[in-house]
């Protein structure tokens, strides 16, 4: 089984291609849209610290494990779990892990696409000069009236889903590799530019200290859960996305080094986004806890007032849409690969079906911002519920199971062989983290939220 050398869907042309694709998957709305607003809602510094710890102690070891599972089986996450369970002579219930991931992918993409639609709409707004010289109140009402319109949101959500469908139907290594190659460096440079702009505001220090000054009194149990959930979300872990990308990874590549690089880049982009946004938040007299609209209510203020703002504004939102596209592809790829492998569908048919389902699910999120904004289940709108269910529950549960599977169920000589770490010590560190630290941390956070701790 180990010698199933290539996936039927193709293989990355090199280690670099995998890095690009996995970074493309990791860096997205999670870093630039979600990280700042949840940091704002959860009081800043202490939340950021917990998030960073979670990336290091839970995210990275699990990312190594998830990539490894995929590369070992060379199959979609559902079949990966079936094959590896057999190899380890383990219980058949492990099969559900693959399924749960595919479902989580649909749920996440359904709201992810709606927000990516906002970013697409903002490309046009930037282009037509809507931000020019605008003050924070005008920018805020621009956003409010935009999300109040179901028709506009449906339009942009549809555009984004159509683009995703188009790219996914073409397969992993045609357009995607090329797009990410220029996207990542440009996005990075643009984030630096925004940070530079933030530095020119009087609120720069206040913004930075909001992000890094530790005040644990502001952190609730749910905040800790959100920070942990976000570590999974931002690294694309716990649902099979990284597993499927791992399954296209050539055999001779070092998984651990690659993962460090990807996780490092991802974290850097998120921190830069925060450092750019909070000074503008304070400068504009906005609330850090303004919620999901935060970046759409702050960054246009910067673009509207800086020199060359028209150009940078258009460029920024274009890059954000591309970053979202390279992430959305990984959310749907496990489902598509499964349909191709098991249901005898062509890639095209599989993409159409899965994108259609996601598109329909997206209406729940669209209406959460307007006509159904008062419709709440467990005190949450459909959007909030989907986000909580996936990022805070499904992904950590998936990650927990991946850790247990890789650490306790798989045979040690298999994992050791597959990872081929540079030395025995690194392998032992990983093994310790994956067997004890990561699962225990996830478990403790859950206990904490339930209130047992």
Output the residue with the shortest Cβ distance to ligand TRP.
30
3-state secondary structure of 269: helix
Of 11 and 266, which CB lies nearer to ligand TRP in the complex structure?
266
3-state secondary structure of 344: coil
Burial class (CB in 10 A: 0-12, 13-18, 19+), 353: middle
Closest distance to ligand TRP from the beta carbon of 108 (Å): 6
CA-CA-CA-CA torsion for 163, 169, 170, 172, nearest 10 degrees?
100
Of 110 and 431, which CB lies nearer to ligand TRP in the complex structure?
110
Closest distance to ligand TRP from the beta carbon of 237 (Å): 6
Of 269 and 302, which CB lies nearer to ligand TRP in the complex structure?
269
Contacts with ligand TRP, residue ranges (CB under 6 A): 25-26, 28-31, 108, 233-234, 236, 239, 241, 327, 330-331, 395
Of 73 and 164, which CB lies nearer to ligand TRP in the complex structure?
164
Closest distance to ligand TRP from the beta carbon of 149 (Å): 25
Closest distance to ligand TRP from the beta carbon of 262 (Å): 10
Strand partners, 380: 377
* Residues whose CB is less than 8 angstroms from the CB of residue 306 and which lie 6 or more positions away in sequence, other chains included: 197, 312
Of 243 and 366, which CB lies nearer to ligand TRP in the complex structure?
243
Of 241 and 382, which CB lies nearer to ligand TRP in the complex structure?
241
CB 245 within 8 A of CB 68: no
Closest distance to ligand TRP from the beta carbon of 440 (Å): 22
Closest distance to ligand TRP from the beta carbon of 29 (Å): 4
CB 72 within 8 A of CB 2: yes
How far, in Å, are 295, 320, 395, 452 from residue 221 at the CA level? 25, 31, 18, 11
CA-CA-CA-CA torsion for 181, 184, 185, 188, nearest 10 degrees?
180
């Amino acid at each position: 089984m180990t010698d199933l050398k290539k996936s039927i869907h193709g293989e990355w042309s090199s280690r670099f291609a995998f890095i690009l694709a996995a970074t493309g998957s990791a860096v997205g709305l999670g870093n630039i849209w979600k990280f700042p607003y949840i940091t704002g809602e959860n009081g800043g510094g202490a939340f950021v610290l917990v998030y960073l710890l979670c990336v290091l102690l839970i995210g990275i070891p699990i990312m190594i494990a998830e990539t490894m599972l995929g590369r070992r089986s060379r199959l979609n996450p559902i079949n990966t779990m079936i094959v590896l369970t057999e190899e380890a002579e383990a219980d058949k219930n492990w099969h559900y892990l693959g399924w749960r991931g595919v479902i989580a992918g649909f749920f996440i993409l359904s709201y992810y696409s709606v927000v990516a639609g906002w970013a697409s709409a903002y490309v046009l707004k930037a282009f037509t000069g809507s931000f020019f010289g605008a003050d924070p109140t005008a920018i805020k009402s621009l956003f409010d009236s935009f999300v109040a319109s179901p028709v506009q949101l449906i339009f942009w959500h549809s555009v984004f889903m159509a683009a995703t469908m188009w790219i996914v139907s073409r397969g992993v290594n045609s357009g995607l590799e090329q797009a990410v190659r220029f996207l990542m460096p440009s996005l990075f440079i643009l984030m630096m530019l925004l940070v530079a702009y933030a530095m020119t505001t009087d609120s720069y220090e206040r913004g930075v200290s909001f992000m890094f000054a530790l005040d644990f009194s502001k952190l609730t149990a749910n905040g800790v859960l959100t920070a942990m959930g976000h570590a999974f979300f931002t690294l694309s872990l716990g649902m099979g996305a990284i597993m499927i990308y791992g399954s296209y990874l050539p055999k001779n590549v070092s998984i651990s080094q690659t993962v460090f690089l990807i996780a490092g880049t991802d974290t850097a982009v998120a921190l830069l986004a925060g450092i750019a946004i909070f000074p503008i938040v304070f400068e504009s007299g906005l609330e850090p806890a303004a919620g999901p609209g935060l970046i759409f209510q702050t960054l246009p203020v910067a673009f509207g007032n800086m020199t060359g703002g028209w150009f940078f504004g258009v460029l920024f939102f274009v890059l954000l849409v591309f970053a979202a596209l390279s992430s959305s592809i990984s959310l749907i790829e496990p489902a598509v690969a499964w349909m191709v492998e098991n249901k005898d569908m062509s890639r095209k048919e599989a993409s159409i079906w899965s994108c259609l389902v996601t598109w329909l699910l997206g209406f729940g999120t669209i209406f959460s911002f307007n006509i159904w904004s008062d419709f709440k289940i467990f005190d949450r709108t459909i959007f909030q519920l989907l986000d909580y269910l996936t990022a805070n529950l499904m992904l950590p549960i998936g990650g927990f199971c991946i850790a247990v599977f890789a650490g306790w169920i798989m045979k040690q000589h298999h994992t050791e062989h597959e990872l081929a770490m540079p030395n025995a010590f690194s392998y032992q560190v990983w093994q310790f983290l994956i067997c004890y630290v990561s699962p225990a941390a996830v478990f403790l956070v859950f206990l904490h939220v339930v209130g047992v701790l």
